[in-house]
C-alpha cells in the first residue's frame, strides 16, 4: 500500500466505529486488492478491503453481490462501511477456516463440506438473479482463447499460427453451442476451496462462507459446480466428485446425461481458460507460482475431454497443445517479465 493509499485507508477507518483499530495484513489474491484484518475490543472482527480504482478495481460489484447473497440467507460478508470513490470496504470477518485449510486438517470432512457448498450453490441458483453481464457463448469462447494467446506461445516458444487459433476457436464455439443450453443463473466463477469458509456454528447452507464473488455473471448452472469439483488448487477425491455430481442432479432434478455433458463442457472451457490465465499471471505479471498449478489443471482438462461429447476438441488438444510437463513449466517461468 502506498503512503497515499495508507492515508486514505486510515481516513476511511477513522470515519467508522473501528477508528484506531489494530490492523494485520492478510494474504492477497491474483488481483490488485489488498486486505487487512481489523480488530477493536467491543466490536465484531472486520476486514478492510483496499481495491484501488486507479488499478481498475471497483468495489460496487462486490457490495451488490454480497447483499444479494445475504438476502438469500447465505453467508457472504456483511458490509459494515464503504467508500466507493476511493475503493475501500469494511466487511465482516468470516474467519480463517477456508475449506482448503479445514480439509488439510480433517480430510474425512470432504464430502460433508462439499455437500454443504452444493446446498449453498443451489440456493443461489434458485433465486432470481441480479442484473449481471452474461457469461454466454461469446464470453466463454473469447476467454478460452487465453490458451492459444498465452499458454501455447510461452509453452512452445513459437508464435501462435492463425490457422490453429481459428480452428481452436471454432471447436470451442461448436462445443458450447451444442451443450450450453438452458436458463442462465448467477455464477460466482471462483467457487472453490480457497474462496469458501466452513462456519459449522451456522445452519444449513449458511454454514458455507462465500468470498471472491465480485466477478459474478449470468451463466450455466454447471459452471460453479465444475469450479468447485475440478479445483485448480487441490485434488478433490474422485469418489467425492462422482457423489457430489449425483447429489446436485438429485437435488435439482436436471437430466443426468444432459447435465453431465454440459458439466464437462463448462469444466473444459474453464480449464482451457485457466491454463492461459496462469501463463499470463506469470509472464506478464511476474507471479511465478501459478505455472506450478498447471499440471493439476491439465489433469482436470484431460478428464473433461474424455466425455464423448467433447471428442473433437479432445483430438485437437491432443494433437496441438503440449501438456505442462516440468520442462514447459520451467520455460513459462523463464519467460516472465513482470
Residues 316 and 206 in one domain: yes
DSSP-based three-state secondary structure for 6? helix
Would you say 172 and 141 are in contact if contact means Cβ atoms under 8 Å apart? yes
Which one of 57, 73, 92 terminates a domain? 92
What's the CATH code of the domain at 188? 3.90.1200.10
pLDDT of residue 28: 66
Alpha carbon separation from 214 to 72, 98, 106, 191, 270 (Å, rounded): 17, 18, 29, 11, 17
Angle at 34 between CA 214 and CA 64, to 5 degrees: 25
Distance (Å, whole) CA 165 – CA 104: 40
Total domain count, the chain: 2
**Sheet hosting strand 79-83, strand order edge to edge:** 22-26, 34-39, 46-50, 88-92, 79-83
Alpha-helical (H) ranges within 15-109 are: 60-71, 99-105
Residues 171 and 72 in one domain: no
Residues 74 and 105 in one domain: no
Q: How far does the chain reach from its first CA to its final CA, in angstroms? A: 18
What's the CATH code of the domain at 9? 3.30.200.20
pLDDT of residue 49: 95
Cα 183 off chain centre by: 21
Would you say 214 and 62 are in contact if contact means Cβ atoms under 8 Å apart? yes
Q: Is 237 exposed, middle or buried (0-12, 13-18, 19+ CB in 10 A)?
A: middle
Q: Is 29 exposed, middle or buried (0-12, 13-18, 19+ CB in 10 A)?
A: middle
The grid cell for 18 is 473501528
Residues 155 and 270 in one domain: yes
Residues 187 and 284 in one domain: yes
Cβ partners under 8 Å of residue 331, min gap 6: 154, 155, 157
* Domain boundaries, position 84: 3-92
pLDDT in tens, the chain (338 residues): 577 888 999 999 999 999 999 999 987 666 788 999 999 999 999 999 999 999 999 999 999 999 999 999 999 999 999 999 999 999 999 999 999 999 999 999 999 999 999 999 999 999 999 999 999 999 999 999 999 999 999 999 888 788 999 999 999 999 999 988 889 999 999 999 999 999 999 999 999 999 999 999 999 999 999 999 999 999 999 999 999 999 999 999 999 999 999 999 999 999 999 999 999 999 999 999 999 999 999 999 999 999 999 999 999 999 999 999 999 999 999 987 65
Residues 161 and 269 in one domain: yes
Q: Is 176 exposed, middle or buried (0-12, 13-18, 19+ CB in 10 A)?
A: buried
Residues 152 and 255 in one domain: yes
Which one of 66, 92, 118 terminates a domain? 92
Which one of 92, 118, 145 terminates a domain? 92
Cβ partners under 8 Å of residue 56, min gap 6: 32
Residues 121 and 232 in one domain: yes
Residues 76 and 155 in one domain: no
Residues 225 and 327 in one domain: yes
DSSP-based three-state secondary structure for 210? strand
Residues 66 and 128 in one domain: no
Angle at 105 between CA 102 and CA 108, to 5 degrees: 85
Residues 136 and 194 in one domain: yes
pLDDT of residue 29: 64
Amino acid at each position: 500500500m502506498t503512503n497515499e493509499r495508507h492515508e486514505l485507508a486510515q481516513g476511511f477507518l477513522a470515519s467508522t466505529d473501528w477508528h484506531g483499530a489494530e490492523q494485520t495484513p492478510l494474504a492477497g489474491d491474483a488481483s490488485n486488492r489488498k486486505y487487512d484484518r481489523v480488530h477493536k475490543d467491543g466490536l465484531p472482527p472486520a476486514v478492510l478491503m483496499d481495491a484501488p480504482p486507479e488499478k481498475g478495481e471497483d468495489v460496487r460489484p462486490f457490495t451488490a453481490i454480497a447483499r444479494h447473497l445475504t438476502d438469500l440467507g447465505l453467508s457472504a460478508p456483511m458490509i459494515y462501511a464503504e467508500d466507493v470513490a476511493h475503493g475501500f470496504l469494511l466487511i465482516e470477518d468470516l474467519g480463517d477456516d477456508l475449506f482448503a485449510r479445514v480439509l488439510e486438517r480433517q480430510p474425512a470432512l470432504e464430502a460433508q463440506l462439499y455437500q454443504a457448498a452444493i446446498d449453498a450453490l443451489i440456493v443461489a441458483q434458485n433465486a432470481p438473479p441480479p442484473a449481471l453481464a452474461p457469461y454466454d457463448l461469446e464470453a466463454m469462447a473469447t476467454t478460452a482463447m487465453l490458451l492459444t494467446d498465452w499458454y501455447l506461445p510461452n509453452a512452445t516458444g513459437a508464435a501462435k499460427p492463425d490457422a490453429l487459433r481459428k480452428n481452436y476457436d471454432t471447436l470451442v464455439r461448436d462445443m458450447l453451442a451444442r451443450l450450453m443450453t438452458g436458463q442462465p443463473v448467477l455464477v460466482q466463477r471462483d467457487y472453490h476451496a480457497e474462496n469458501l469458509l466452513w462456519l459449522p456454528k451456522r445452519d444449513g447452507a449458511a454454514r458455507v462462507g462465500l468470498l471472491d464473488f465480485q466477478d459474478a455473471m449470468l451463466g450455466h448452472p454447471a459452471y460453479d459446480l465444475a469450479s468447485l469439483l475440478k479445483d485448480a488448487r487441490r485434488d478433490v477425491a474422485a469418489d467425492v466428485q462422482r457423489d457430489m455430481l449425483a447429489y446436485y442432479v438429485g437435488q435439482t432434478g436436471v437430466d443426468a446425461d444432459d447435465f453431465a455433458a454440459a458439466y464437462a463442457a463448462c469444466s473444459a472451457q474453464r480449464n482451457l481458460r485457466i491454463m492461459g490465465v496462469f501463463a499470463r499471471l506469470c509472464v506478464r505479471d511476474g507471479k511465478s507460482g501459478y505455472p506450478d498449478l498447471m499440471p493439476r489443471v491439465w489433469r482436470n482438462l484431460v478428464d473433461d475431454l474424455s466425455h464423448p461429447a467433447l471428442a473433437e476438441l479432445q483430438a485437437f488438444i491432443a494433437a496441438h497443445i503440449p501438456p505442462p510437463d516440468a520442462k514447459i513449466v520451467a520455460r513459462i517461468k523463464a519467460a516472465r517479465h513482470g
